[in-house]
Structure 1
């Protein structure tokens, strides 16, 4: 779960990192650019768009490929713990 959250947070922060690297090299070359209101707004919107695209793609591409199955949670039977299972649905025809 933490890996999924970090993936989306990294996508959100990626435009800020890229712009910061650009500013670093611009300053080394003698430029005078700095973080401005417009650049922060553009980086924020870009990061949010990247994060939204990744969430949409995740929702469309992932999911349960097994149709017709049911999750059975762990339970006690005869004093023993039976692990959870994914079992096929019994169909009545």
Structure 2
């Protein structure tokens, strides 16, 4: 089953080795937003951005990313659920 188009990723990432495969799956499944919440969220967001951009030659690789280190999970879920990315979009929480 494909991932939702909006993801809330919990940080810290328990298994950093899984992050790259997760981001590639997000790209393949058409995820449009990854919001990282929790301790170290900005660093995880930066890693995700690096994975997405790669060498910069493939302009089709794009996902909007945000980080929310100082917010509660409930507040981030509320924010992401209200984020208009066009069309209906459920929010999925992910822990790696």
TM range (shorter): under 0.3
Bigger radius of gyration, 1 or 2? 1
TM-score (ref. length: structure 1): 0.25
TM-score (ref. length: structure 2): 0.24
* Greater fraction of residues in helix: 1
The higher-RCO structure (CA 8 Å, 6+ apart) is 2
